[in-house]
Amino acid sequence: MENVVLEMIEYQPEHQPWFEKFNRQWIEEYFWMEPIDYEVLQRPDEYIISKGGKILVATCNKEIAGTVALKYVDPTTYEFTKMAVDSKFRGLRVGQALGEEAISKARNLGATKIILYSHTVLVPAVSLYKKLGFVEVPVDGPYKRSNIKMELKLV
């Protein structure tokens, strides 16, 4: 795709169908939907935004291409979660742009640390997280399908 114009915008309620669709695609391809997935993906305003978190939406040539959420954990920590890129936009560095924007947003929110939970079967994702500066730490998460926890110190 030539002349790719990537733009990062703040989530609006009308973005919910894409947030759910993109995330369900990869979750169902590799794992299974957990009850919390349905709740978060169908009601992100309630589960992410109203609790102090943020969701970013990537557009590629004005078309919605991907999403990522920063879930509020405590005043200095956010969880990097629900990052997904529509398959037709993979390979265009949309995930990297979302990751960089989320890190910047977390800093602006006063975070000193970002954590994430993933699974080592998601090789491109784990590779991207390492490229963004995340390091592996002991797993302690609430998610049945995660076998890796990573964190990024922002100070």
pLDDT at 71: 97
pLDDT at 152: 98
Other CB atoms within 10 Å distance of the CB of residue 4: 12
Q: Is the dihedral of CA 143, 145, 147, 149 positive or negative?
A: negative
pLDDT at 2: 63
Radius of gyration of the chain (CA): 14
Edge-first strand listing for the sheet containing 77-85: 6-10, 54-60, 63-74, 77-85, 113-118, 148-153, 135-137
Q: What is the pLDDT along the chain (155 residues), one digit of tens a residue?
A: 568 899 999 999 999 999 999 999 999 999 999 898 999 999 999 999 999 999 999 999 999 999 999 999 999 999 999 999 999 998 899 999 999 999 999 999 999 999 999 999 999 999 999 999 999 999 987 778 899 999 999 98
b/e code 11-31 from CB counts within 10 Å (16+ = b)? beeebbebbbebbbebbeeeb
Reduced to 3 DSSP states, what percent helix, strand and coil does the chain have, rounded to the nearest 5?
A: 40, 30, 30
pLDDT at 90: 87
Distance separating alpha carbons of residues 150 and 137, to the nearest angstrom: 5
- Residues linked to residue 118 through DSSP beta bridges, in sequence order: 148
pLDDT at 143: 79
Distance separating alpha carbons of residues 112 and 129, to the nearest angstrom: 17
31 HSE (CA, 13 A, CB side): 19
Distance separating alpha carbons of residues 48 and 67, to the nearest angstrom: 13
Torsion of CA 3, 128, 19, 9, to 10 degrees: -50
